[in-house]
Amino acid sequence: MLAIGVAGFGSAAQAEPVTLLAFGDSLTQGYGLEQGDGLVPQLQSWLAAHGAGDVTIINGGVSGDTTAGGLARIDWSLTSDIDAMMVILGGNDLLRGTDPAVTGANLDGILSAGQAKGVPMMLVGMQAAANFGAEYKQQFDALYPELAARYDTVFVPSFYGALTGEDQDPAAMRGYLQADGIHPNPEGVQKIVEDLGPSVLELVARVGAK
């Protein structure tokens, strides 16, 4: 089914240009990377190579941003020219040990703002580390699929999923991360883009279906 959707996407994209807001933190912004190696430029190139050359991605990533910061700026970020939005937030909430209920409320507010603007949305999940405790991890990890279902977004379960593999082994990520052990290096971004790309095509196809 996905292959059919991707194969038929090119003509739709050429008929109607799409402006996509990539709304997130340093993972979206491209922290520590040379120009052209970050998520947005690599995703832009991937889309062009897969028949979606008329999609323009706006880099709405702010390094250090939490979901609270995202909520504070979502209204002015969703300008009238935005046709779709992908949300990649929550990593800095984890670093601060933010109450999952607070993170969930902030993400809910962000998605509610997107829904009010009538833009198709994509939500990319995050997972808590085991050291936060089983209860915290269960509550945090459950936020993303629940919100994706509530707002009928395109959903990618894990931003780092392409790096951890099917076994979800954090050790598998080491060669794809910068020295800080958090942000992906250019090769890591490439793998993440290849994982996100088909879902982004699905998101953009929803613009044409509105």
Burial of 209 (0-12, 13-18, 19+ CB in 10 A): exposed
Strands 84-88 and 55-61, sheet pairing:
unpaired
Q: Is 183 a catalytic residue?
A: yes
Q: Report the alpha-carbon distance of residue 87 to residue 23 in Å, rounded.
A: 5
Burial of 158 (0-12, 13-18, 19+ CB in 10 A): middle
Active-site entry in 26, 50, 93, 199: 26
Q: Report the alpha-carbon distance of residue 199 to residue 196 in Å, rounded.
A: 6
Active-site entry in 11, 81, 167, 180: 180
Residue 93: name the closest of 141, 134, 59 by CA: 141
Burial of 55 (0-12, 13-18, 19+ CB in 10 A): buried
Active-site entry in 25, 83, 183, 199: 183
Q: Is 180 a catalytic residue?
A: yes
Residue with tokens 């833009």: 119
Q: What residues are annotated to the active site? A: 26, 180, 183
